[in-house]
Chain A
């Protein structure tokens, strides 16, 4: 029983030592990297703590420093920690002969466990900060307010159109920009999503085709088709919705 307790306390002591060593080496690596990059160390550390994950539906990228990313730094730190822990272990054994001498396998295992544990702790910390920030920004707001905050005019213009136009219609865009470029494609999808069902731009649902939406068109008023009049204007004619006059 005593042997088991001693063994357990030795393991815990080793993990604690390697964890502390790893932390110091991680901070040292960040410091050296900050110096090479000629950036303030405090900013480096803040970026590492708060931005080490960038959330995206296709991939959660790590934060990229000049020569490292915030995930690979753990591998380098672990590599440096192993020889340092071996040396400190030998030194301690020389000075205090009663201290336990750990094998290479035990040290490598302890370093791996410490690196994994530190990675998990810091990443979960970043996750908490990220979700906490999102929550603070968007909580206590209605869906309308949230959409307005996030999408601004790309939500508000369709919202205004929905208040103005009665019934269901089909529409087309008149624009100078290329909707096939990734950034503008998302704008097109967003406008279409929020305009539907009042104005359907991506689906032929057999409703009357009597709407045009002028978006980022140079001199938009000159491009309004004959027989159409402006029903909704937004941001100094940056967005215009025109509908066919009923008389025709």
Chain B
């Protein structure tokens, strides 16, 4: 049933992409990649709804119902009798020159993907958080088949995307196997590589897109997290896809990209506690883009903003309302200080603030330049920044820079002003929080290297 784990999310996601008519714009590889990403998000949201409605989890209740819904959406699209899978945005792209660098990069990407698949399917679940929380909670959902015991579970305040998707994999294959449920992560990695490349292909030339994708896969931390059952890899995947969709919306002004971005922003809120914060940041970025836009009138700006926020915050609201009105009400004693939650944040303006800032700066610099997390990506990025000219900063680059800036500011405030400073001191969370923005860096490098040549290279018009 491994094939079902691969095909079902693609089927669910593809039906949504067809309804959004994104197949007219995107070609088949990125369509399949986006479908998988979308499908996994849809599956976990559907499981949440089933749990709230107290419908037992099973392969039938999850897969059959979603299949019927997806089939209906496909029929709606087919009824319109429009041509399928046109890939219009990629049709006029110039192929680019093939040289030794291209072949080396392609071989490197291929080797990395194969390596990820082999390693993920060789190593069983064995890392701390996976055994203690994600896979353990997934096992509980699999055997108990409901959300009934969520208030008694470890880290009950944490969103459930990863436990849900792992338990879904177990339901689909009919048994709990700590090894085979991990197939989700290498599939996500494969989707990520395709989304990364094909997104950059629309904004840069082929060589730069390959370099950006290659730099992403050169990172040890990024590649390692694609082989373990942690939430951070999925987090950076969805954040990047949301930002990519926003960039494509900014460039091509197609509402379907905005809807896609809204969906992924909503899914981000269901992965980790800070996901809700990211959904707000993404809405803020859209707000800034709309303020700066000179091509839209006020009515269109308002519609665009509400399209995005209603979708993203609507998805976030489902889980948060369930948590605060149902889960929390069923717990008599919530004094467990080990369970962090957004409503447990204690802000502390003390004299230690300057000392904390110093520790933060030192930890950041060490992490970016003296660990082996990121290969040489950050030094390359800062060197490229020195060469960047203001006139070459496109609106898409501005979106990505803005996200990095807001992420840095919010984490600086979070680490220095709240009790979360402990995670910084113990080196537990910093690398993982940087991982959330890391995929943006190779994308920016690719865009800077192509130096605004993408229009000449690709012949694309705004």
Contacts and interface: CB of A to CB of B under 8 A. Distances in A.
Contact of A59 (B115, B152, B373, B375): B373
B428 interface: yes
B371 A193 contact: no
Contact of B132 (A60, A134, A189): A189
A71 B369 contact: yes
Contacts of B153: 202-203
A138 B371 contact: no
B61 interface: no
Contact of B428 (A58, A60, A146): A58
Interface in A136-180: 138-139, 143, 146-147, 150-151
B272 interface: no
B129 A57 contact: yes
B136 interface: yes
Residue among A59, A139, A193 with the most chain B CB within 10 A?
A: A59
A218 interface: no
B341 interface: no
Contact of A202 (B136, B223, B230): B136
B154 interface: yes
A57 B226 CA distance: 11
Nearest to B432: A58
A59 B219 CA distance: 12
A143 B373 contact: no
A138 B372 contact: no
Given A151-B126, A203-B149, A143 B177 contact: yes
Interface in B352-382: 367, 369-373, 375-376, 379-380
A102 B379 CA distance: 24
A59 B124 contact: no
B149 A58 contact: no
Nearest to A206: B149
Q: Looking at B152, B228, B372, which has the most chain A CB atoms within 10 Å of its CB?
A: B372
**For the complex, would chain B's binding face be called helix, strand, loop or mixed by DSSP majority?**
helix
B404 interface: no
Contacts of A146: 122-124, 179
A112 interface: yes
Contacts of A119: 375-376
A186 B126 contact: no
B131 A193 contact: yes
Interface in B176-203: 177-179
Interface string A201-229: 01111000000000000000000000000
Interface stretch (A4-12, A13-21, A120-128): A120-128
A57 B127 contact: yes
Interface in B111-169: 115, 118-119, 122-124, 126-129, 131-132, 135-136, 139-140, 143-144, 149, 152-154
Contacts of B143: 196-197
* Residue among B108, B136, B383 with max Cβ neighbours from chain A (10 Å): B136
Contact of B178 (A123, A134, A143): A143
A193 B122 contact: no
A197 to B, nearest CB: 4
A61 B430 CA distance: 13
B224 interface: yes
B324 interface: no
A39 interface: no
Contacts, number: 123
A189 B178 contact: no
Contact of A69 (B228, B370, B373, B379): B370
Chain A interface, DSSP helix/strand/loop, else mixed: helix
Contacts of A3: none
A186 B127 CA distance: 9
A60 B128 contact: no
A53 B220 CA distance: 8
Contact of B122 (A62, A116, A128, A134): A134
B431 interface: yes
B122 A127 contact: no
A151 B372 CA distance: 27
Nearest to B426: A58
B131 A189 contact: yes
Contact of B139 (A71, A135, A186, A196): A196
Most A CB within 10 A of own CB, among B122, B123, B179, B383 = B122
Contacts of B372: 52-54, 60-62, 70-71, 123
A169 B140 CA distance: 14
B102 interface: no
B287 interface: no
B15 to A, nearest CB: 34
Nearest to A138: B122
B212 to A, nearest CB: 15
Contacts of A81: none
Nearest to A185: B132
A190 interface: yes
Contacts of A85: none
B218 A124 contact: yes
Contact of A127 (B220, B367, B380, B427): B220
A59 B122 contact: no
B436 interface: no
A139 B123 CA distance: 9
B77 interface: no
Interface string B200-244: 000000000000000000101101110010100000000000000
A146 B180 CA distance: 13
Nearest to B132: A189
B431 A203 contact: no
Contacts of B220: 53, 55, 60, 123, 127
A222 B382 CA distance: 65
A59 B224 CA distance: 10
A243 interface: no
Give the most central of A57, A116, A128, A190: most B CB within 10 Å. A57
13 contacts: A57-B228, A58-B429, A60-B372, A75-B369, A116-B380, A123-B218, A131-B119, A146-B124, A192-B136, A193-B131, A202-B153, A202-B154, A205-B140
Q: What 5 A-B pairs come out closest when comparing CB atoms?
A: A189-B132, A53-B372, A197-B143, A116-B376, A60-B372
Interface of B: 108, 115, 118-119, 122-124, 126-129, 131-132, 135-136, 139-140, 143-144, 149, 152-154, 177-179, 218, 220-221, 223-225, 228, 230, 367, 369-373, 375-376, 379-380, 383, 427-432
